[in-house]
Amino acid sequence: MAFSSSEYLSSVWKDGIFDNKVVFCTGGAGSICSVQVRALVHLGANACIVGRNVEKTERMAQGIATARKGAKVLGIGAVDVRKYDSLERAVDRCVKELGAIDFVIAGAAGNFLAPISRLSSNAFRAIVEIDTIGSYNTLKATLPHIIASAARNPNTGTNASTGGRIIFLSAAFHYTGAPLQAHAAAAKAGIDALSATASIEFGPRGVTSNVITPGPIADTEGMDRLGSKDKESAAAALKRVPLQRHGTVKEIADGTIYLFSDAGSYVNGEVLVIDGARWRSPMPIGGLDYPAGLLDDAVLLGGKKISKL
* Distance between CA atoms of residues 164 and 96, nearest Å: 18
Location of each CATH 3.40.50.720 domain in the chain: 12-276
Q: Per mean pLDDT, which range of 5-9, 73-77, 135-139 is the poorest?
A: 5-9
Task: Please name which of 257, 275, 256 lies closest in space to residue 214, comparing C-alpha atoms.
Answer: 275
In this structure, are residues 70 and 39 in contact, taking their beta carbons and an 8 Å threshold? no
Angle formed at CA 13 by CA 7 and CA 18, multiple of 5 degrees = 105
SS3 of residue 246 by DSSP = coil
For residue 2, the model assigns a pLDDT of 60
Region of 299 on the Ramachandran plot (φ > 0 left; ψ -120 to 50 alpha; else beta): beta
The reported pLDDT for the residue numbered 241 is: 87
Rounded to an integer, what distance in angstroms lies between the CA atom of residue 165 and that of residue 209? 6
Condensed to tens digits (0 to 9), the pLDDT of residues 28-81 reads 999 999 999 999 999 999 999 999 999 999 999 999 999 999 999 999 999 999
Strand order in the sheet with 46-50: 73-76, 46-50, 22-26, 103-106, 165-169, 208-214, 271-274
To 10 degrees, what angle do helices 134-152 and 84-98 make?
Answer: 30
Cis bond leading into 216, ω under 30°? no
Return the HEC string of 218-235.
CCCHHHHHHCCCCHHHHH
Give me the pLDDT at residue 106, please.
98
What residues act catalytically? 170, 188
Helix, strand or coil for residue 22? strand
Fold of domain 12-276: Rossmann fold (3.40.50)
Beta-bridged to residue 300, according to DSSP, are 305
Q: How confident is the model at residue 309 (pLDDT cuts 50, 70, 90)?
A: very low
Distance of CA 232 to the CA centre of its chain: 28
What integer pLDDT is reported at residue 62 of this predicted model? 97
- pLDDT tens readout for residues 230-256: 777 778 888 888 888 999 999 999 999
